[in-house]
Structure 1
């Protein structure tokens, strides 16, 4: 968990797509991973979106640039990025979002606005610890967790 994992939102690389891509490139090098040109391009598209983006929207953008991009190509790149923790998949809306701190393995909840589709990554060690503690009390061993809270963000509730 991040050193900044407190009750506040973690904002590493938020609003800085190039900083995010640079951080992922650095983390890939440190881990001995191959960030192929296609993986990097998909990563750049996810980062530039600024909000959750669906796989077929990424495919459309790649086709505009390359013409021959196919769904399996995009899904393989997304699978790699997910496996490495560089992006997150928001299951409830079937979309992908960049991770605010890609060098760290973690599980975090998201606040998803049902009006503008923004998603805020909430990095708070207390939330993860509470879920793990509750699971343990039931004798349950979690292997992955995705907590998605839907509602209306501050910007959309002003109207």
Structure 2
């Protein structure tokens, strides 16, 4: 996502935080910016490196807490198989997300509205789902 296209996503994040009574602190905002600006999935330690030049360099727990906050609001997704993060500017109030990971170039594309599992244990309520698929993107297949 280019810097120009991160502005609407950051504005949406600020609005969501206001609606939920949460604070998008400067470090949370900067971590979200870095994830949104990345060309693909970004690892936490890459975020930490990017934050170092600033005053009061961030420590690993700070980055992980910011990522957990952003995950909790659905502003980023963790790509479990890659142990990396991708930005999301869509609401996940219903359904879920499917991540399509290219085995060749490493790109991650997201589709929304993945159906919730119908095979849940008695009494279990799904709050959020993310499904990861691996294959080859259209660009790599060409």
TM norm structure 1: 0.77
State the TM-score, normalized to the length of structure 2. Answer: 0.86
Please list the CA deviations of residues 65-96 of structure 1 after superposition, one character each: whole Å capped at 9, or x if unmatched: 34622100100100111111111111011111
Corresponding residue number in structure 2 for 1:105: 93
Q: What's the offset of the Cα at 1:38?
A: 0.4
- Distance in 1, matches of 2:132 and 2:45, equals 22
Q: CA deviation at 1:115?
A: 1.6
Cα distance, 1:140–1:51 mapped onto 2, change above 3 Å: farther
Alignment gaps of 5+ in structure 2: none
C-alpha contact 2:36 2:86 (8 A) present in aligned 1: yes
Gaps of 5+ in 1: 1-13
Whole-angstrom distance in 2 between the partners of 1:93 and 1:121: 15
Aligned length: 138
User: Could you say what secondary structure the match of 1:89 adopts?
Assistant: strand
Between Structure 1 and Structure 2, the one with more helix by share is: 1
Structure 2 distance, partners of 1:100, 1:152, is: 24
Q: Which residue of 2 aligns with 1:157?
A: 141
Aligned equivalent of 2:24: 35
Which 4+ runs in 1 deviate beyond 6 A? none
